[in-house]
Amino acid sequence: MPTLPAKLPHTGTTIFTVMSALAAEHGAVNLGQGFPDFSPDPALLQAVTDAMAFGYNQYAPMTGLPVLRQAVAARLNGLYGSAYDADRDITITAGGTQGLLTALHACVGAGDEVVIIEPAYDSYDPAIRLAGAVPVGVPMTVDYRIDWAAVRAAITPRTRALVLNTPHNPSGRVATGDDLRELERLAEQHDLFVISDEVYEHMVYDGQLHESVARHAGLRERSFLVGSFGKTFHVTGWKVGFVAAPSALSAAFRRLHQYTVFSVHTPTQQALATYLADPAPWQGLSGFYQARRDAFRAALAQTPLTLLPCEGTYFQTVDYSAVSDLPELDFARWLTTEAGVAAIPLSVFYQRPQERRHVRFCFAKREDTLAEAARRLASAWRG
């Protein structure tokens, strides 16, 4: 047998697969992996059926169906005051992860450095390494804010790009206008590209504003904005997203996109375009998930776990130091096997683990699922 090339030799199975398998094995409530356990809007499902019946069953254009790209551009431009062109600047992708991977490969190469803010979603590091570049992790502050002094210190002449994630997975924090203005200054000063992971853009709570790179002209011109229909419309298994970027960046992105997935599932694209004609579903998403967040936080308040702020996303991080000295991964396994609730340890999202005794729960679940999880967590420390 020939020898396999050693790509990502130190990368194991993603923590989401590991914890979901453990949850299934032990009959645990799975609040680890970030997917809803409720059905999407029946109107959206019917729109897919209609699209197939109407003949949308062959290859879509490589960049995506024009009607969907137009809907994406109209939404972004209306929300953020941008001027994305549907034909030149919007590309439909096979989910957010493919968008992130392709954007990174479009703008970095061998030996380049890419700053990632930690804890960082676990696909960033391997995507950067596959491009031959070097991920440079910069930890957030103890309260999960971006440490801009540390970011500045991490930038070298080899730094080519920075990955931003807001609302932030796994911490649930939301970047502020000051954060985006500081990033704009840094990007212009050091001539950096920005890959902005904004898949939770419509899940921002308590009246806060989502600060997209699309709002800031100096960032918009050098950024790949990554979005996800799966997250927004509760259809994570569809794996449909988009990347918005100025035409020169989009051209570089599309050169790679055409030889990775070429095009994305046609009937779901048509269905999403039809569904986006009504803005109510995404406009109501923050209120929908804030109600779940509030109910889940109220239930968790009956446990010894300490709730950390949740400003956005559908993730709630807790501090368990009052009940255990176990390292985060060991505690997450204990929660799954003994308490019957699966969570994700934050330590896995760092290059150099920061053992803070924090785990993350997903509250994109039915009310009865969250109530059962809270009941199990409360009973784990009774008596």
| 307 occurs within a structural domain | yes
Share of the chain above pLDDT 70, in %: 100
| 146 occurs within a structural domain | yes
Same domain, 175 and 195: yes
Looking up tokens 């479009």, which residue turns up?
Answer: 106
- Residue 3 — pLDDT band, cuts 50, 70, 90? confident
Same domain, 81 and 164: yes
CATH code of the domain covering residue 324:
3.90.1150.10
State both tokens at 250.
Answer: 């989009």
Q: What is the pLDDT of residues 151-193, one digit of tens each?
A: 999 999 999 999 999 999 999 999 999 999 999 999 999 999 9
Which residues make beta-bridge pairs with 136?
Answer: 115
Q: What is the pLDDT, as a whole number, of residue 353? A: 73
Number of Cα atoms under 13 Å in the Cβ half of residue 362 = 20
Q: What pTM was computed for the model?
A: 0.95
Per-residue pLDDT averaged across 90-94, rounded? Answer: 98
Q: What is the pLDDT, as a whole number, of residue 6? A: 79
Kindly tell me if the per-residue pLDDT of 383 is higher than 70: no
- Residue 215 — pLDDT band, cuts 50, 70, 90? very high
Give SS3 for 352.
coil
Q: What is the pLDDT, as a whole number, of residue 10? A: 78
Q: What is the pLDDT of residues 100-155, one digit of tens each?
A: 999 999 999 999 999 999 999 999 999 999 999 999 999 999 999 999 999 999 99
Q: What is the pLDDT of residues 281-309, one digit of tens each?
A: 999 999 999 999 999 999 999 999 999 99
| 1 occurs within a structural domain | no
Q: What is the pLDDT, as a whole number, of residue 96? A: 96
| 212 occurs within a structural domain | yes
Q: What is the pLDDT of residues 24-34, one digit of tens each?
A: 999 999 999 88
- Residue 14 — pLDDT band, cuts 50, 70, 90? confident
Q: What is the pLDDT, as a whole number, of residue 168? A: 98
* Low-confidence winner among 14-23, 40-49, 67-76, 213-222 (lowest mean pLDDT): 14-23
Same domain, 201 and 165: yes
- Please state the φ and ψ torsions of residue 66, each to the nearest 5 degrees: -55, -40
Mean pLDDT score of the chain, rounded to an integer? 95
Across the beta sheet with 134-139, the strand order is 90-93, 241-244, 223-228, 193-197, 159-165, 113-118, 134-139
- Residue 8 — pLDDT band, cuts 50, 70, 90? confident
Same domain, 224 and 287: no
Residue in 233, 279, 226 with CA at minimum distance from that of residue 93: 226
DSSP string, 189-254: HHT-EEEEE-TTTT-B-TT-----GGG-HHHHTTEEEEEEHHHHTT-GGG--EEEE--HHHHHHHH
* Low-confidence winner among 63-67, 86-90, 251-255, 377-381 (lowest mean pLDDT): 377-381
Displacement of CA 303 from its chain's centroid (Å): 28
Same domain, 69 and 172: yes
Same domain, 242 and 159: yes
Q: What is the pLDDT, as a whole number, of residue 11? A: 78
Same domain, 255 and 293: no
Q: What is the pLDDT, as a whole number, of residue 354? A: 75
CATH code of the domain covering residue 153:
3.40.640.10
Domain count, the chain: 2
Same domain, 161 and 290: no
Instruction: Decide which of 225, 260, 277 is a domain's last residue.
Output: 277
Same domain, 268 and 373: no
Instruction: Decide which of 277, 304, 332 is a domain's last residue.
Output: 277
Distances (CA, A) of 295 to 38, 175, 209, 342, 371: 17, 24, 22, 19, 9
Same domain, 36 and 46: no
Give SS3 for 88.
coil
Same domain, 179 and 320: no
| 5 occurs within a structural domain | no
| 264 occurs within a structural domain | yes
ω into residue 309 within 30 of 0, thus cis? no
Instruction: Decide which of 214, 242, 277 is a domain's last residue.
Output: 277
Residue 112: give the domain boundaries: 42-277
| 2 occurs within a structural domain | no
| 51 occurs within a structural domain | yes
Same domain, 24 and 79: no
